[in-house]
A and B are shown apart, each in its own frame.
Chain A
Amino acid sequence: MNGHLLLEILVAAIGAGTPFVYAALGELVTEKSGVLNLGVEGMMLVGAICGFIGMAKTGSLLVAVLAGMGAGMAMALIFGVLTLTLMANQVASGLALTIFGVGLSAFLGLTYTSIALPGVPALPIPWLSDIPVLGPLLFSHDILIYGSILLYAAISGFLYRTRAGLILRGLGEAPESAHALGYNVIGIRYLAVLFGGAMAGLAGVYLSVAYTPMWVEGMTAGRGWVSLALVVFATWRPSRVMLGAYLFGGITILQFHIQGFGIDIPSQLLSMLPYLATIAVLVLISRNRQTIRLHSPASLGIPYHPQS
């Protein structure tokens, strides 16, 4: 395998990993506040179709992104009302949200299956993209990929370097204490849930507008579920989420290359590889019990009501 091909695999891995980056980082923020939203797949699909409609109607990427994020947030709001205000079970509500999203996106997209979009052009950064190896790897992508990397920086900074991030994490650990200290637990959790929805929507927009610029029912094909799993296996740490997302994307691409080279490994086994390798790597690097306890939000999935 020559260097050129290796570089192409890495570049493709970033593209393939990006939907996971958006959706998993969004879900990470939601879960850090102590709320488990299993509706990522549904929010992603509704985001994908709304972003697609936005792009098809206006031709503006900004509109597409706003539409997708808005749609994801609207879906998340439903979840928020059910679980935060009405105290419904989070697991059941999240599953319901996914099923609802699958149907709703199919319905909204009824007349959009026949439209082809131009896609999103790559935006090489001047000077930087001319650096050998690093240039094509990091500085020759489309704007949504740059956005996902900025999002990572922003979320890591927010969670571990700001007071607001500390409050959010505290909320996920001990909502009673946060409440006793005078923080509006339900309000902050709403914001975290909405943020998760917006990011899942954006992941959908990336898929339907940039990655495979088209709309078809169920086009996320389980990527929402993979994102959810990534958050857990990355033990709620943004850097490991990134690692997991690119690893998953990279091994998906790599296994196709292995097939293309005619290396004699059954393709069924190869298609398991991204899952196996990602789980194995993340479990191995995060196997310290102490750090898992430290990073996993203690109140995850447990409804909290200030009066109770």
Chain B
Amino acid sequence: MGVRLSHRAIAFFAIVLALFCSTFVDAAYLRAARAAALAESGALAARLGLTDLSLFTEARYTRHPTQADLHSAFQDHPFAFEHFPSGSLMPPPRMLTKEYENLDRKTESPD
């Protein structure tokens, strides 16, 4: 007779649970190991007065989001579309896209 299914399940869950708990141990280990890098970045940011992470370097308002005002994504020219993926997930404010009155109905002769 082979090993009971319940015993196999208990063994499986014991292993997986041990792995789950070990992720927390690993997190503590990595935190200690990577503390130096974090401190170095923090020190450089403090010394140079840096305000932003260099994660999104494609445009000025994505490189330094904290230094850009709310409208900088639309400043390239009047009616500019936002064209970078970093910001394209965010719609422009409603007031900028609302429709204006249709003037063509008021013209007396067709164009």
Indicate whether A and B interact: no
A residues near B (Cβ < 8 Å) are none
B residues near A (Cβ < 8 Å) are none
